[in-house]
Structure 1
Amino acid sequence: MMLSLKELTTEADRCVACGLCLPHCPTYRKTGSEADSPRGRIQLIRAVSQGILPNNERFKEHIDLCLSCRSCESACPNSVSYGALVDTTRARYIQKKNIWLSLAKPFIRHRHLSNAVTWPLWLLSKLNLMAVLKRVVPAAKLLPAIQKPIVWKSLYPTTQATQGAVSLFLGCATNAFDNRTLSASIHVLNTLGYDVHIPNAQTCCGSIARQAGDDIEASLLIKKNTDSFDPAMPILTTASGCGAGLKDYLTTHRIQDISTFLVACDWSSAQIAPLQERIYVQDPCSLRNVLKAQKAVYDLLKKIPEADIQALPGNSQCCGGAGAYSVTQPEMANQLLNDKLTAITASQVTTLASANIGCSLHISKGLENAHATTRVMHPIEIIAKQMGFEA
């Protein structure tokens, strides 16, 4: 939640500077600078909010470098709401001026505009012309693989005995770059007896705008989603980053990561084909530190007979994806990414399951640049394929 100036100072004062957060902070581990640690940033926030220090470029640099991974919250013995502190600080004192984020804003807000771009990009990829586009437009090198856009129905009814109804959150990045996971989610939910509603007016969760300090845009998106979804139905998210943002700010609705919802369902009649493969799981920070739901991914994948489910070494540290962080802070993002790539190589990972689109895109781009063959898939798509789903 956003804090008033008084609440900001009061919450900052709750930090006792014990230092237990330090080993859990990705940026502190890399820079060794107290100003890039959670307690250091909190001290800076307190000083700026009270006018003791100026709101200058050095202050903004230290706040901007924060990933909002919120590992510090999990480690804090005093349960300081660091996420609310940094969100409020960015909205009050820092507004990032990034040309790519500014250009992307209308496409993030309006799904039909996003589809208007992804359709021609998909056609270019089908015609093997993406390499030409990337030579002409260097920024296109940042684009992931483009899947064929989908015009979603408002309702996907189950053909099984009805167990209930849910709403599915599309998300801006997931809808544009990983609609296969959304289709797989509908397949699994329908197979287990759930009607799936997809409100047409839904929009971005607001996390990217909030990370950029644009609280006006973030609030607009949250209101639009509040008005779009039926509060009587749970909202299921396939991207834990979206789930975390909605959980913090869409307070009138019940938000659940889809893996958490599914592990509590009745699977007695589900037919799941065996898979003799070792699957490594990458824990997104938002799933672990905000939703507290990382265990559900392992429990879900363990429903696949003969599959060997393992945690990727180094899961407690951020991959550097963190929404738009890889665009706004590429140097630190790549340092953290290299740690993940090292872990993937050392463990000889063939399939990596990740429940967050930001992590998946960031890690996939790193693997592509390293010419690695590891597949990065959402856990829902992995289990859906063993249940007969075909993209």
Structure 2
Amino acid sequence: MTLSLKELTAEADRCVACGLCLPHCPTYRKTGSEADSPRGRIQLIRAVSQDILPNSARFKEHIDLCLSCRSCESACPNSVSYGTLVDTTRALYIKKESLWLTVAKPFIRHRALSYICTWPLWLLSKAKLLGALKRIVPAAKLLPAISKPIAWKALYPATKPKHGAVSLFLGCATNAFDNQTLSASIYVLNALGYDVHVPTAQTCCGSIARQAGDAVEADALLAKNGASFDRTMPILSTASGCGAGLQDYLTTHQVQDISTFLINCDWSVAEITPLQQRIFVQDPCSLRNGLKAQKAVYDLLKKIPTADIQALPGNGQCCGGAGAYSITQPEMANTLRDDKLTAMQSNQVSILATSNIGCSLHITKGLENAGMDIDVLHPVQIIAKQMGFRA
């Protein structure tokens, strides 16, 4: 939740400045600046909230550089709610309407508009003209590969004896750029005996707006989602960033990462083809520090016979994706991503599993720039393929 000014100061006062968070902070590791550490940022937040320091451009720079990865929360002995502190600070002091957010907002709000606009991009990619568009329009270089847009049904009934019903959260980026993971999720859930509901009125989770300091827009999107989803069934998210945002702020509903839900299903009805390959897993910060559900991904992938499941070295550090961070802070985002690329290269990774669309897009773009041929897939898509799913 977003705090009041008084609550913000009180929460900041709970930090005892012990410094145990410092080695866990990605930006502090890179800059070595106390002002770019959780402890330093909390001191700055406290000082600005009490009018000891001004809300200056320099203050904004240090807050903007924060990834909101929340690794510091996992290390904090006093359980300071750092994520809530930064969300509130951005809403109170950092709010800005950037050009990219102004342009993107209608597409984030309205899924139908996004659906309409992805069609020409997909057709350009099929005609191998997307490269020409990227040369003509520099901003188009940020576009990832586009899957054929899907008009979702409201209900996908179970193909096995029914065990229950769930709702699937589409997300704005996942729906536009990774609808194959959503299709794979429906396939697996149906095969395990679950009806899958896809509410037509659902919208963005609000995390991108909240990261930009627009709490009003974020709360409006949350309210729309709250009215769209049935409270009697769990909301499953394939993007851990969306799942963490919904779990933190949409408290009226039960929200779960899809891997967490699947690991507790009855798999006796599933036929899974063996896969004699090593799969490395990248832990998104939102899954590790927000949902605290990274173990479920490994347990899920271990259901694939003969597959060797390994954690990507350096999983404790953010990849730099972090929602819109790769757009707003490209230098730091790319520096952090380089560490992931180095880890993948040194470990001869051929398949990387990640549970967050932001991580997937950011890492895939880095691999493309580096000329590295590595499949980056959602864990559900990997197991779905071994169960017979074909994109």
The interval holding the TM-score normalised by the smaller chain is over 0.9
Matched, 1:154 2:154: yes
Deviations 1:256-290 (A, max 9, x none): 00000000000012100000000000000000001
- Measure, in 2, the Cα distance between the counterparts of 1:269 and 1:383: 14
- Measure, in 2, the Cα distance between the counterparts of 1:73 and 1:136: 44
Deviation at 1:305, TM superposition (A): 0.3
**DSSP-derived class of the 2:376 partner:** strand
Q: How does 1:1-391 map to 2 (within 5 A)?
A: 1-391=1-391
What RMSD in Å do the two structures reach over aligned CA positions? Answer: 0.5
Aligned amino acid, residue 43 of structure 2: Q
**DSSP-derived class of the 1:97 partner:** coil
Deviation at 1:96, TM superposition (A): 2.9
Deviation at 1:140, TM superposition (A): 0.3
- Measure, in 2, the Cα distance between the counterparts of 1:135 and 1:159: 46
- Measure, in 2, the Cα distance between the counterparts of 1:172 and 1:136: 26
TM-score, normalised with respect to structure 2: 1.00
Deviations 1:161-192 (A, max 9, x none): 10000000000000000000000000000000
- Measure, in 1, the Cα distance between the counterparts of 2:324 and 2:340: 18
Deviations 1:182-223 (A, max 9, x none): 000000000000000000000000000000000110010000
- Measure, in 1, the Cα distance between the counterparts of 2:155 and 2:284: 29
Q: Does the 8 Å CA contact 1:240/1:284 hold for their aligned counterparts?
A: yes
**DSSP-derived class of the 2:380 partner:** helix
- Measure, in 1, the Cα distance between the counterparts of 2:233 and 2:202: 14
Runs (4 or more) in structure 1 with deviation over 4 Å come to none
- Measure, in 2, the Cα distance between the counterparts of 1:158 and 1:288: 30
- Measure, in 1, the Cα distance between the counterparts of 2:160 and 2:31: 54
- Measure, in 2, the Cα distance between the counterparts of 1:369 and 1:169: 31
**DSSP-derived class of the 2:54 partner:** coil
**DSSP-derived class of the 1:268 partner:** helix
Deviations 1:333-360 (A, max 9, x none): 0000000000000000000000000000
Q: Does the 8 Å CA contact 1:22/1:38 hold for their aligned counterparts?
A: yes
**DSSP-derived class of the 1:362 partner:** helix
**DSSP-derived class of the 2:196 partner:** strand
Deviations 1:105-164 (A, max 9, x none): 010110011111110000000000011101111100000000000000000001211000
- Measure, in 2, the Cα distance between the counterparts of 1:266 and 1:301: 15
Aligned amino acid, residue 389 of structure 2: F
For this pair of structures, how many residues does the alignment match? 391
Q: Does the 8 Å CA contact 1:301/1:379 hold for their aligned counterparts?
A: yes
**DSSP-derived class of the 2:271 partner:** coil
Percent identity of the aligned residues? 79
- Measure, in 1, the Cα distance between the counterparts of 2:159 and 2:146: 31
- Measure, in 2, the Cα distance between the counterparts of 1:380 and 1:148: 19
Q: Does the 8 Å CA contact 1:91/1:215 hold for their aligned counterparts?
A: yes
Q: Does the 8 Å CA contact 1:98/1:328 hold for their aligned counterparts?
A: no
- Measure, in 1, the Cα distance between the counterparts of 2:46 and 2:18: 16
Q: Does the 8 Å CA contact 1:55/1:93 hold for their aligned counterparts?
A: yes
Deviations 1:25-76 (A, max 9, x none): 0000000000000010000000000000000000000000000000000000
Aligned amino acid, residue 2 of structure 2: M
Aligned amino acid, residue 29 of structure 1: R
- Measure, in 2, the Cα distance between the counterparts of 1:124 and 1:290: 37
Aligned amino acid, residue 295 of structure 2: K
- Measure, in 1, the Cα distance between the counterparts of 2:5 and 2:97: 23
Runs of 5+ unmatched residues, structure 2:
none
- Measure, in 2, the Cα distance between the counterparts of 1:269 and 1:174: 28
**DSSP-derived class of the 1:296 partner:** helix
**DSSP-derived class of the 1:319 partner:** coil
TM-score, normalised with respect to structure 1: 1.00
- Measure, in 1, the Cα distance between the counterparts of 2:130 and 2:312: 32
- Measure, in 2, the Cα distance between the counterparts of 1:64 and 1:97: 14
- Measure, in 1, the Cα distance between the counterparts of 2:29 and 2:131: 37
**DSSP-derived class of the 2:327 partner:** helix
Runs of 5+ unmatched residues, structure 1:
none
Q: Does the 8 Å CA contact 1:208/1:323 hold for their aligned counterparts?
A: yes
Aligned amino acid, residue 377 of structure 1: L
- Measure, in 2, the Cα distance between the counterparts of 1:341 and 1:367: 7
